[in-house]
Amino acid sequence: MNFQSSSDGGEGEDQPNSAAYDVGYRKPPAEHRFKKGRSGNPLGRPRNSRSIKRQDNLSSGTQPANRYLLEEAYRPVLVREGEQTIELPAIQAVFRAMGVAAMKGNRFAQRTLAELVQAIEAEDRQARLSYLETAINYKCNWEEAIERAHELGRPEPQPIPHPDDVFIDFLTGDARVCGPLTKEDKAAWDRLLEYRDELQQEVTMFAECYRKSRNPQKKARALEMWKLEQKLFDKMNDNLPKRYRKELAHRCWLEGASRPGQQRTRIWPGEH
């Protein structure tokens, strides 16, 4: 092709020399050629625009594919079992179908299901052993630190959680904390124990009023309040871990009064 620069063209574009330019395949007439600087598809995507837009204002560091995959995995679906239709997360429905296929003799499903269960159990066992080891080391290290403080006559450290609150069950391999776990948790426990001690003061006061009163009505009222405050004390004290419980002083043993442990609804590790 031979192009000549034209100084008087409509918009300064290069136009084919009529003598040397043959119209034909891939050689459109000049009036049908794209004008320089003008889009051949004016309704198309603007220049420099991105073909894929980020959704939901995703910030850097997020993994949208993983999020969408989990959304689909836990999306509720309807599954028919016999005469009933139940709703399950999609991933649970997949596992259930795999289990059914395995029980019907599908060897691939049997092998896949067995491998999945074994992998999960091994991961869970490793996590439990790691947590148990961490709890044992924590408890032993702080017990040694507290013992050294006693030997040196220094104030006893108060770690949170306290080593006395860490319970290790070597039969089951479990480790539990029977007490506050954080500073905020410790503050809440302190308020609870403070209120429990205030109830003890109330019990003592009404017990003395009952014993000293000579007025039958005042004596009956004091007895009623004595039993009430004692019941509140027992309800709170009974459900604390063993090391936090206190024995109630000036307990009422008359008919209708609460008894120690009678309102216990929570059993802590190591208790029966």
User: Which of residues 2 and 167 earns the better pLDDT score?
Assistant: 167
Mean pLDDT of the 111-139 span: 95
Mean pLDDT of the 111-121 span: 95
Mean pLDDT of the 94-118 span: 95
Mean pLDDT of the 16-36 span: 61
Q: What is the mean pLDDT of the chain?
A: 85
246 token code pair:
């206190």
Mean pLDDT of the 192-211 span: 96
Mean pLDDT of the 209-234 span: 95
User: Which of residues 178 and 12 earns the better pLDDT score?
Assistant: 178
- For residue 42, whether the previous peptide bond is cis, meaning omega lies within 30 degrees of 0, is no
pLDDT of residue 5: 40
The model carries a pTM of 0.62
pLDDT category of residue 81 using cuts at 50, 70 and 90: confident
At residue 66, what is the residue type?
Answer: N
pLDDT of residue 63: 80
E strand or H helix at 237: helix 216-238
Q: Which DSSP letter does residue 78 get? A: E
What would the DSSP string read from start to end of 124-174? HHHHHHHHHHHHHHHHHHHHHHHHHHHHTTPPPP--SS-GGGEEEETTTTE
E strand or H helix at 94: helix 90-103
Is the pLDDT at 14 greater than 70, yes or no?
no
3 token code pair:
């192009």
pLDDT category of residue 165 using cuts at 50, 70 and 90: very high
Residues pairing with 16 in the sheet: 3
**146 neighbors 156 (Cβ within 8 angstroms):** yes
**223 neighbors 195 (Cβ within 8 angstroms):** no
Mean pLDDT of the 165-194 span: 93
Is the pLDDT at 53 greater than 60, yes or no?
no
